[in-house]
A and B are shown apart, each in its own frame.
Chain A
Amino acid sequence: DTEVTQTPKHLVMGMTNKKSLKCEQHMGHRAMYWYKQKAKKPPELMFVYSYEKLSINESVPSRFSPECPNSSLLNLHLHALQPEDSALYLCASSPPRAGGREQFFGPGTRLTVL
């Protein structure tokens, strides 16, 4: 298995809903990342997990809550989001040998907040 998978592919939610995004990789990567990408913009880093511990939180609002249950899984829990949070949410992972220098992205979850 040589890829990062993300579910769901698309998600539409209301501002009062609670939902979760899921990311999975079985490549033995020990660093995993959440990015947010708006249309025609580069990805913006949100969170970094290294060896299942949160190492970087780029001042993300608390309505986004990451979780790393094990070395293969990364979740992003969403609650009370705003319409401006609508974006493509990307998960990425890095192999240990590259020291986090190479990042491999999943296909993303297209989130729409109504």
Chain B
Amino acid sequence: GQQLNQSPQSMFIQEGEDVSMNCTSSSIFNTWLWYKQDPGEGPVLLIALYKAGELTSNGRLTAQFGITRKDSFLNISASIPSDVGIYFCAGRGGSQGNLIFGKGTKLSVKP
């Protein structure tokens, strides 16, 4: 079945640094979603991408849908302590396909 490889698995950064994480797939997706999850809470949708090459920003967050349709990245600029959490990518292929989730990137920010 379809699988997503999300990296890195975890990151420890200093406040103010930029962060980059990515997801790659062995098959083509037509949707990429990026979520953030705080402990004990549900995932919150950060950015949705629908077209190959699309670059979308949401405040300090920027995500891109790869040209090959098999990858996506998420950048966070000037990180702050409240950016701490687990970030999941999720992809969907086909009109009826379910969301496939990456295994998550755990972000820790030192003040």
Interface residues of A (CB under 8 A from B): 4, 6, 40-43, 45, 48, 56, 88, 90, 92, 98-108, 110
Contacts and interface: CB of A to CB of B under 8 A. Distances in A.
B104 A101 contact: no
A107 B41 contact: yes
A107 B95 CA distance: 27
Interface residues of B, number: 23
A54 to B, nearest CB: 14
Contact of A88 (B40, B92, B103): B40
B73 interface: no
Contacts, number: 51
Contact of B43 (A99, A105, A110): A105
A45 B98 contact: yes
Contacts of B33: 101-103
Interface stretch (B13-21, B44-52, B62-70): B44-52
A102 B41 contact: no
B43 A101 contact: no
B44 A103 contact: no
Contacts of B103: 41-42
Interface in B47-80: 48, 50
A105 B101 CA distance: 14
A56 B98 CA distance: 9
A110 B40 contact: yes
B88 A42 contact: yes
A4 B44 CA distance: 11
Contacts of B31: 101
Most A CB within 10 A of own CB, among B42, B90, B98, B99 = B42
B59 to A, nearest CB: 18
A45 to B, nearest CB: 5
Contacts of A98: 48
Given A41-B103, A101-B50, A103-B33, A108 B40 contact: yes
A34 B31 CA distance: 20
A42 B104 contact: yes
